[in-house]
């Protein structure tokens, strides 16, 4: 039986860890305490979610579950690298991240503070930029 050594390019694992943490933190928070997430995400006094509409426990728990599913996929790619795992994570992240970024860029009026608007757009843009970089620098075959 022939074994294939799985190697990652420099920065690839760091990019995957960045994505995993960005999924884990809000995922657990929204799933365990949807009301707390709604009122306090990303920090107390900066209610980015509450500023954009009424509370919906079902939607927030689903969002938390989605985030944890993406975290599991990303962590699996980190700990069990396979030929296409980085690309699968990057594509999955883009499917969620690009429309999420687009929504917020077209609804900037929901932010009451300019610093919150800049922080939100920057963090959401990173959830598009990091997977794009992973796709560009992760060969289809290794």
pLDDT digits (tens, 9 = 90+) for 2-15: 444 567 877 999 99
Residues 73-105 as b/e (b if ≥16 CB within 10 A, e otherwise) read bbbebbeebeeebbbebbebbbebbeeebeebe
pTM for this model (two decimals): 0.83
Q: Which pLDDT value is given to residue 83?
A: 67
pLDDT digits (tens, 9 = 90+) for 33-71: 999 999 999 999 999 999 999 999 999 999 999 999 999
Cα angle, residue 62 at apex, residues 16 and 77 outer, rounded to 5°: 20
Contacts (Cβ under 8 Å, ≥6 apart) of 82: 6
Assign 3-state DSSP to the chain and report helix, strand, coil percentages, each to 5. Answer: 70, 5, 25
């Amino acid at each position: 039986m022939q074994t294939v050594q799985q190697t990652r390019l420099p920065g690839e694992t760091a990019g995957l860890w960045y994505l995993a943490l960005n999924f884990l933190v809000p995922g657990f928070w929204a799933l365990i305490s949807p009301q707390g997430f709604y009122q306090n995400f990303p920090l107390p006094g900066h209610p980015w979610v509450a500023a954009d509409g009424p509370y919906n426990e079902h939607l927030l728990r689903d969002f938390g579950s989605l985030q944890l599913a993406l975290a599991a996929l990303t962590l699996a790619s980190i700990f069990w690298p396979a030929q296409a795992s980085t690309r699968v994570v990057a594509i999955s992240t883009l499917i969620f991240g690009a429309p999420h970024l687009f929504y917020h860029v077209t609804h900037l009026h929901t932010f009451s503070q300019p610093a919150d608007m800049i922080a939100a757009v920057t963090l959401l843009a990173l959830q598009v930029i990091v997977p794009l970089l992973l796709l560009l620098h992760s060969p289809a075959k290794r």
